[in-house]
Amino acid sequence: MTVKKHLAAAALALVLSAATTGAMAESMDVKPLGAFGKWEAAYWMENGKKVCYMATRPTATDSKSPVKGRDPAYLFITHWPGDSEKNAVTITAGFDYKPGTKAVVAIGGKVFNMATGSKATAKKGGAGTDAQMAWMDDQVREDELTDFIQKETGLTVKSTSRRGNVITDSYSLDGSSEAYKAISRECGY
């Protein structure tokens, strides 16, 4: 999956997560699929085609320094059936990542490194909308991570903020299998 699509998925899904009810959701054609344990699932229409996602927030955060003014963090899995793409794993950290660093996902005894920000972000000193995004460019690894998310009970994401703070977010995977089934069914996978 392209970096541009990951960033678009995360940015739009973040907005949609906050907007699954009310006028904003209606204007964006967001359709909630349900809440499943710690996860929520929904879809929206993009150019007449469904895009389905599931999202969750961290259940705990560990950092030696307080994380002040942090935006909400989310972990997403998104399907784009109109482009025959699925299992786009994306994280919005809620803070700007330090340029050149990775977000490291640990789950089931495995480690998955995710790219953060972009070259454009690094040129701007690590600031910008995509400075808070992490993604993978390897479909095989995304599929593997997606399988682990459905089978395990939790995962951690360790990353470094632009200020140099090391932050570890813990996510519950309770309900992830059911949420994944819901988005896969809705988007035809």
- Of 103, 96, 101, nearest to 124 by C-alpha is 96
Summarised one tens digit per residue, pLDDT across range 84-143 is 999 999 999 999 999 999 999 999 999 999 999 864 444 444 445 578 999 998 999 999
In this predicted structure, what is the pLDDT of residue 9? 56
Pick the CATH number of 3-186 from 2.30.42.10, 2.60.40.1880, 3.30.1380.20, 3.30.559.10: 2.60.40.1880
| Paired residues of 29 in beta bridges | none
This prediction has a pTM of 0.85
- CB proximity list for 113: less than 8 A, separation 6 or greater: 102, 103, 104, 105
85, two tokens: 């793409």
What is the rounded average pLDDT of the residues 60-81? 90
% the chain with pLDDT above 70: 79
% the chain with pLDDT above 90: 68
**In 43-155, which ranges are continuous DSSP H helix?**
119-123, 139-151
In this predicted structure, what is the pLDDT of residue 130? 78
**Cα Rg of the chain (Å, integer):** 16
Summarised one tens digit per residue, pLDDT across range 5-34 is 555 555 554 554 454 444 444 556 789 999
In this predicted structure, what is the pLDDT of residue 180? 98
In this predicted structure, what is the pLDDT of residue 123? 45
Counting other chains too, the contacts that 55-60 makes at CB distance below 8 Å and 24 or more residues apart are 55/13, 55/17, 56/171, 56/172, 56/173, 56/176, 57/171, 58/157, 58/169, 58/170, 58/171, 59/170, 59/171, 59/172, 60/169, 60/170
DSSP 8-state code for residue 98: P
What is the rounded average pLDDT of the residues 42-51? 92
